[in-house]
Amino acid sequence: MQNVKVTKARDSFTSGLGVIAATLGSAVGLGNIWKFPALTGLNGGAAFIIVYLLSTLMAGLVVMVAELTLGRRSKSDALTTFKVLHPKNESWALIGAAGVLSAFLILAFYTEVAGWVFAYIFKAASGSILSADPKVTSAGFEKLITDPVQSVLWQCLVLVFVGAIIIAGVSKGIEKTTKRLMPVLFLILVMIGVRSLMLPGAAAGLEFLFRPDFSKVTGAVVLTAMGLAFFKLSVGMGTMITYGSYFRDDQNIPMTALRVMLADLTVSILAGIAIFPAVFTYGFKPEAGPSLLFITIPAVFSQMPFGNVFVVLFFVLGAIAATGAMLSILEVPVAYLHQRFGMSRFNSTVLTVVLLALIGSTAALSNSTLANFKLFGMTMFDLYDFVTSNFLMPVGGLFICLFVGWVWGEEKVRAALSNDGQLRNGAIISIFLFLVKYVAPVTITVILLRGLKVI
Ligand code: PHE
C-alpha cells in the first residue's frame, strides 16, 4: 500500500444499503430478463438452471468475493489494484487491462439492447408495437433493428443517459440512482409475475421452468451456463474490483456477495415466472431465444386485459435493470482513466462514451449496414457477446482466483477479510480459501476447455 498516492478523499458508497443497491444494481440487468429466460428456454429449462446455479456457487460467487476483497484492499481501479497489491510483478495488471477491454466490448452490445428496451417503452406507450400476431410484432422489431439511424441514435441516447449519471459521481450518481430504482424494479416484477400466474397457462409455464431436460445439456451448454453465471454477477472483468474499492472497511464482503447473488437469482426466477406462463397461455414457443423479449412479450401481453399497461411496465423494468448494470460497467474504464491519468471524472466519462459510441456502432449496425461483416461466422454484436461471456470473463475470473489464492496468498486474504467484524472466527475465510485455490480454478478450466472443444 506504500506506493499509493492518496491525494484527495476518494468518493465511495456511503451506507450499507447503498453498497447493496449499487452492487445488486450491477448484477441485475438485461442478463435476468433478456439472457436468462432466453437461454433457459433454449437449453432445457430447469436442467440449464441447475448447471447455472452450480457454476454460480463453484465459480461466480467465489470470483465475486475475490474481486471485492482486492478492490477494497487496494482502493484502486481494476488495473491499478494489481500493481498496488503486487508491485513486484506488474504483469498481473494484464487481468485489469483485459477487464477494461471487456467493459468496452460488453457495453458495445449491451447499450444496443438497452437502446431497444428504451425505444420499446415509447413504442409500447404509443401502442405501435402491440399486436396479438407475432408476425406483426416481429416485423416491428425487424424494422427497428434494421434501421441504422434509429439503432445508432437509441444507443447514443442510452450512452449519454448513463454517462450523465456517472459524471455525477459514485455516491451522488451511482449510489443515489440505484437506491431509488431497485425497489421500483422489484415492485414491477412482482406485479407482472402475479398477473402472469393468474393466467390459465401458468401451470404449463412453471412446469417448463422447473422440469429439467438434461438431454439438452452439452459441453457448449455448460460453458454458456457458466458464462451466464459470470455475466450475471458482473465478475471476471473488474467491475467488482472497482465497486469493492468504494466499499467501507467494515462491510462484510462474503455476506454482501451472497445476498446479492440470492437477490439476483430471485429476479431471474421472477422474470421466468413473469414470462413463461404468459408464453404458454397464448400458445407461443419458449425457445424463441433473444427475440423472446421483443417479439413474444408484446404479442403475448397485448392479449391480456390491460396488456398494454403491462408491456410498458415490462420495458420500464428492463430499462431500470439495464441502467444499474451499465453504470457499473462504465465505471471500470472511467475509474481507471481518472486514477491512472489524473483525468477529471467529467473528461474520463466523455472520452469513454465517445469511444463507446464508435465501437458500439459496429454492434448497432450488425443488423443493417454491417450485417454481412462477420468474424468467425458471427456479426460484431454476436461476437462481442460470445467473446466476453464465454471467454474473457471466465478467463479473467480464473486468473483472479489464481492471483488471490496463490500469489497474494492466504495471510493477506485473511487480513483483508477479517476487517469484517463478523468474520473473526475465520471459518468462512477458510471455506473461501479452499474454493478460490482449488474448486473455482479447476471448475473454470475444465468447463472452458470442454466448452471450446479443446478436450
Ligand atoms: N450483470 C449484468 C446483467 O446481468 C451485466 C454485467 C456484466 C454488468 C458485466 C457488469 C459487468 O445484465
Q: Is 30 in the pocket of ligand 1 (CB under 6 A)?
A: yes
Cα–Cα distance for residue pair 57/59, rounded to 1 Å? 6
Does any ligand 1 atom lie closer than 6 A to the CB of residue 27?
A: yes
- Would you say the CB of residue 26 lies under 6 angstroms from ligand 1? yes
Which residues, listed in sequence order, are joined to residue 374 by a DSSP beta bridge? 379
- Helix (H/G/I), strand (E/B), else coil: 56: helix
Q: With contact defined as beta carbons under 8 Å apart, do 234 and 321 qualify? A: no
Spatial contact of 435 and 400, defined as CB atoms under 8 Å apart: no
From residue 397, alpha-carbon distances to 59, 67, 389 in Å are 8, 9, 11
Q: Which three cell numbers stand for residue 113?
A: 439492447
- HSE at residue 70, side-chain half, CA atoms within 13 A, is 40
Number of helices (H) and strands (E) in the chain: give both, helices first. 23, 2
Ligand 1 touching residue 31 (CB < 6 A): yes
Residue 43: which residues within 8 A CB-CB, separation 6 or more?
216, 217, 221, 224, 225
Mutational test site, ligand 1, from 231, 243, 268, max ligand atoms within 8 Å of CB: 231
Separation CA 315–CA 32 (nearest Å): 13
- Ligand 1 center from residue 208 Cα (angstroms): 26
- Rounded CA gap, 13 and 6, in Å? 17
Residue 106 CB less than 6 A away from ligand 1: yes
3-state secondary structure of 98: helix
Distance 279 CA to ligand 1 centre (A): 26
Ligand 1 atom nearest to CA at 27: 1
pLDDT of residue 418: 82
pLDDT at position 423 is 57
Specify the ligand 1 atom closest to the Cα of 233: 1
Residues β-bridged to residue 45: 212
| Separation of CA 287 and ligand 1 centre (Å) | 23
* DSSP letters for 279-300: HHHTT--TT-TTHIIIIIHHHH
Residues 63 and 227: their CA atoms lie apart, in Å, by: 13
Q: Give the C-alpha separation, 359 to 189, whole Å.
A: 32
Distance of alpha carbon 378 from alpha carbon 74, whole angstroms: 38
pLDDT of residue 422: 56
Q: Whose CA is nearest to atom 7 of ligand 1?
A: 234
| pLDDT score recorded for residue 27 | 98
243 CA to middle of ligand 1, Å? 13
Ligand 1 and 320: CB distance under 6 A:
no
CA Rg value for the chain: 21
> Could you tell me if 129 and 298 are in contact, meaning their C-beta atoms sit under 8 angstroms apart?
yes
Q: How far is the CA of 430 from the centre of ligand 1 (A)?
A: 28
Ligand 1 atom at shortest distance from the alpha carbon of 325: 8
Alpha-carbon gap, residue 455 to 447, rounded angstroms:
10
- Burial label, 339 (beta-carbon count in 10 A; 0-12, 13-18, 19+): buried
Q: What size, in residues, is the chain? A: 455
444, 53, 72: which is closest to 262 by C-alpha?
Answer: 53
Candidates 100, 74, 68, 71; CA nearest to 87 is 74
Q: What is the largest CA-CA distance in the chain?
A: 65
Contact yes or no for 129/120 (Cβ under 8 A):
yes
Mean pLDDT by 10 residues, the chain (455 residues): 54 95 98 92 91 98 98 97 96 97 98 96 91 88 94 98 98 97 94 89 89 92 97 98 95 95 96 88 80 85 86 94 98 97 97 98 94 94 95 98 97 85 74 98 97 87
Distance 49 CA to ligand 1 centre (A): 18
Q: All 3 cell numbers of residue 32?
A: 435476468
- The pLDDT score that the predictor gives to residue 420 is 57
The pLDDT score that the predictor gives to residue 127 is 87
389 lines ligand 1 (CB under 6 A): no
pLDDT at 132: 86
> Cell 444494481 appears where?
25
CA of 32 to the centre of ligand 1 (A): 9
Instruction: Tell whether ligand 1 has an atom less than 6 A from the beta carbon of residue 296.
Output: no
Continuous segment of H or E residues that includes residue 281? helix 253-281
Q: Quote the cell numbers at residue 372.
A: 454481412
**Cβ of residue 228 lying under 6 Å from some atom of ligand 1:** no
The finding on whether 325 has its CB within 6 A of some atom of ligand 1 is yes
Regarding the beta carbon of 232 and ligand 1, being less than 6 Å apart is answered yes
CA 68 to centroid of ligand 1, rounded, Å: 15
Query: Residue 9, exposed/middle/buried by CB under 10 A (0-12, 13-18, 19+)?
Result: exposed
Contact between 160 and 353 (Cβ < 8 Å): yes
Distance 200 CA to ligand 1 centre (A): 34
Provide the pLDDT for residue 195.
Answer: 87
Q: Is the CB of 328 under 6 A from ligand 1?
A: yes
| Ligand 1: centre distance to CA 204 (Å) | 30
Residue 203 Cα, ligand 1 centroid: separation in angstroms?
31
Q: Give the pLDDT confidence score for residue 5 in this predicted structure.
A: 47
In this structure, which amino acid lies at residue 71? G
